[in-house]
Amino acid sequence: MGKFKEAVEVIRGDLPFPAICGRVCFSPCEDACSRINIDQSVAIRSLKRLVADIEREQGKVTAKPIPKKYDEKIAIIGAGPAGLAAAYELAKLGYPVTVFERMPEPGGMMRYCIPDYRLEKFVVKNEIDYIQDLGVEIKTGVEFGKDITIDGLKKDGYKAIFIAIGAQLSAKLNIPGEDLEGVIHAVDFLRALALGKQPNIGERVAVIGGGNTAIDAARTAKRLGAKEVMILYRRSREEMPAHPWEIEMAEKDGVKFYFLVAPKRIIGKDGRVKAIECLRMRLSEPDETGRRRPIPIPFTEHQYEVDAVVPAIGQVIEASVLPPEIIGKNGLIEVNPITLETSIPGVFAGGDAVTGPASIIEAVGAGKRVALSIHRYLRGKSLEEEKIEETTWVKDWRSLEKKKRRYESPVEKPHLSFEEVRAYLERVQRAARFEALRCLGCGPCAECLMGIDLCVKDKAVVDEGKCVGCGLCTEICPFGAISKNENGVAQVNEELCKGCGTCAARCPKEAITMENISNDRILSAISNVLAGVV
C-alpha cells in the first residue's frame, strides 16, 4: 500500500530504533516468521530499514514532547539501548526521565562500538534525538560512581533508578606480554576510533576471539589500512559465536581465519608487540552443555609476526562502580527474575549488565520490561502479581539461517572504505512492497491494524460438537494445519494455521469458523456496503 510513514509509526510503537535495528539487528523476528516454513522468511529487518530510511529522507524526524502525567522522577544510568528503550517507554507513560551517560555522546555500544560501515553515527543520533524530543533528558559526561551515586540520586528526589551500564570492560587474556604497547582490546580499539583517535595498529594485526566484536575489530583494522589481519580462534568455524553472514563479509574483506589456535604469550621487542606465540588446539567430545571444549596440544607452539594484538574474547561489567551487594556470583548484577529489581529497593537493572554481552534487541527488550516494572513499582502495584511477558526466542537460529532473506547487495567498489553498505531495498521500493506482500499476516510478529482489518491474526476454530470427522478440511488446508485427533475430530495446529479461511468456506457441517473474520462479520460488512452504495 506504500504507507511507509505509517509503517515506521507502527514499528516505533514498540521499538525506538527502527533505523538502527534495520541495519544491525540479527533479526530473531525472521527466525520466528511463519513464512520460513514455506520458503523463506519475510525480510522484516530490511523492510524496517527501508521505511526508516524513507522517513529520514523526507526530512528530519521530530516528535512532540509528551505531557508529564506523573511527578516521580526516574534516573537511568547508561544511555545505551537498554537505558534509552526504558527512557522511551517511561516517557511515553508520562514520567520525567533523566538519563546519565559517561561518554560525550549517548548511544552506548551502538554509538561507540559498532563501526561506521555497519552503522553510521548520524543514524544513531537521529533516533536518540527522537527520544529526546519526547522529553527525555540526557546528561552526558556524568560518571556513575564518581559524579553520581545511588544514594545521591535518591537524595536528589529520584524515586526509581535503572542501572543499564552494560558490559564495557574487555576481558583480559591473562597471558604474558599483555601489557606491551600494541595490545589494544577490541572495544577500546573501536571506542577510540569512534572518539576520533587513530590507534596505531601497524601492518599486521592479530584479532583474538570468535565473536561479532572480533569480526568488527578485524574488518575495521582492514579498513584502517592494515595489510594483514588474522582472526585467531581456539575452536573451529562451527563453534564461532559470530553470525555467519558477518564471518562471510569479513572473508570478503580479506580477513584471514586461523582456527583451533590459542595465544600462549605475546612476544615484545623494545616494549612493543613483535609476535604472538600460539598453541594448537583440538576439540573434546561435546560435554554436558553440548559445547566442545578446546584442549591444547602440547609442543605445538608457533609464532605469528604481528604489530598489534586485538583481544576480543568478551566483555565484563565494571563492578567496581557498583555497590557490592547487588553483584551476583557470576560477576554480573543479580536481579529478581520477575521484577528485575536488584537487592536495593527501587533500583532496577537490565541489559548486558545483567545478562552479559548480548544484542541490541535483547537490551531493548530488557529496557522495556524494566520500564514496565518501574511503572508498577511507582504506582504501588505488586511487582510479582503477573510476570512481564518475555518473547520466546527461536533457539536454533543457525539452522534457519539459510532460509532468511538478506537484501544486502554485494559490496561493489567501496569494499574497504567506511562508506556504509547500501542496502538493495533502499533503491527498490517496489521490490519492498512485494517483499512485504509475502507476509502471511499470521500475526505473531506484528498486528499493525492499519487501514484494513485483515491484518489481524485469524485462525480456524473447530466446533467439536458439529464436526463429523469427514476429513475434508485436512485435505484442503494448504498448510497441513488440520489433522484429526484421536476422537476423529478435526483439530487445528495454531502455529501452522495462517487464517486463510479456505477450510471454513467449505466445511460441510459448518463446524469450522474463523475466529476473527467470521461469515457474520463479512455479511454485516456487506449490508453496510449495500446500504451505502447508491
Partner 1 sequence: MEADPKIICFACNWAFPEWEIETPPDVGVIQVKCIGRLDPIIVLESFAQGMDGAIIVGCKSPDCHFIEGNLYGERTIRLLKKIMALAGLEPKRLHLELVSPIENKSLPSIVEKFIDEVKNLGSLFKGEEIDEEILFNIQAAKQAVVWSRLRMLSGRERKLTEKINVYGEKIRQEEFDRLVEEVIEEEYLRSKIYLLTKSKPASVEEISERIGVDSFLVLQHVVALRRKGLLGMDRIEGYTPLYRALEVG
Residues in touch with partner 1 (CB under 8 A): 1-2, 38, 433-434, 437, 440-441, 452, 454, 458, 470, 472, 475-476, 478-479, 498-502, 504-510, 514, 517, 519, 522-523, 525-527, 529-530, 532-534
Shortest distance (Å) from residue 513 CB to partner 1: 10
Nearer to partner 1, 369 or 498 (CB): 498
Place of cell 502525567: 69
| CA-based nearest residue to 213, from 176, 184, 242 | 242
Grid coordinates representing 451?
A: 487501514
Closest approach of partner 1 to the CB of residue 333, in Å: 47
> Would strands 204-208 and 228-233 be described as parallel, antiparallel, or unpaired?
parallel
The DSSP call for residue 148 is B
Smaller CB distance to partner 1: residue 128 or 439?
Answer: 439
What span, in angstroms and rounded, lies between the C-alpha atoms of 25 and 18?
10
Shortest separation between residue 436's beta carbon and partner 1, angstroms: 9
CA distance 170 to 184: 10
- Would you say 449 or 525 has its CB closer to partner 1? 525
CB atoms within 10 A of CB 62: 8
Nearer to partner 1, 186 or 514 (CB): 514
The widest CA-to-CA distance across the chain, in whole angstroms, is 92
Please name the residue that has the C-alpha cell 507502527: 10
Rounded to a whole number of angstroms, the minimum distance from the CB of residue 514 to partner 1 is: 8
508 vs 526: CA distance, rounded Å: 23
Read off the DSSP letter of residue 414. -
- Our CB check for partner 1 shows the closer of 77 and 477 to be 477
- Alpha carbons 260 and 372: distance in angstroms, whole number: 45
* Closest separation in Å from C-beta 215 to partner 1: 38
The CA distance from 85 to 107, in Å, is 11
Q: 125 or 509: whose CB is closer to partner 1?
A: 509
The pairing of strands 256-259 and 272-283 is unpaired
Looking at the Cβ atoms of 244 and 480, the one nearer to partner 1 is: 480
CB of 464 to partner 1, least distance (A): 14
Judged by CB, which is closer to partner 1: 3, or 291?
Answer: 3
Residue 490: partners with Cβ closer than 8 Å, 6 or more residues away: 462, 467, 469, 471, 473, 474, 482, 483, 484, 511, 512
Q: Which residues pair with 259 in a beta bridge?
A: 233
Q: Which amino acid, one-letter code, is at 352? A: D
Neighbours of 155 (CB within 10 A): 9
**Grid cell digits, residue 497:** 494455521
Output the smallest distance, CB 501 to partner 1, in A: 3
Cβ proximity to partner 1: between 7 and 214 the closer is 7
How far apart are CB 452 and partner 1 at their closest, in Å?
A: 6
Report in angstroms how near the CB of residue 505 gets to partner 1 at its nearest: 4
Burial of 277 (0-12, 13-18, 19+ CB in 10 A): middle
Q: How far is the CB of 474 from partner 1 (least distance, A)?
A: 11
Please enumerate, as own/partner, the contacts of 36-40 that have beta carbons within 8 Å and a separation of 24 or more: 36/400, 36/403, 36/404, 37/479, 37/496, 38/440, 38/479, 39/403, 40/403, 40/404, 40/405
Place of cell 528530519: 60
Whichever of 129 and 463 has its CB closer to partner 1, that residue is 463
Between 57 and 520, whose beta carbon lies closer to partner 1?
Answer: 520
Q: To the nearest whole angstrom, how small is the minimum distance from the Cβ of residue 508 to partner 1?
A: 3
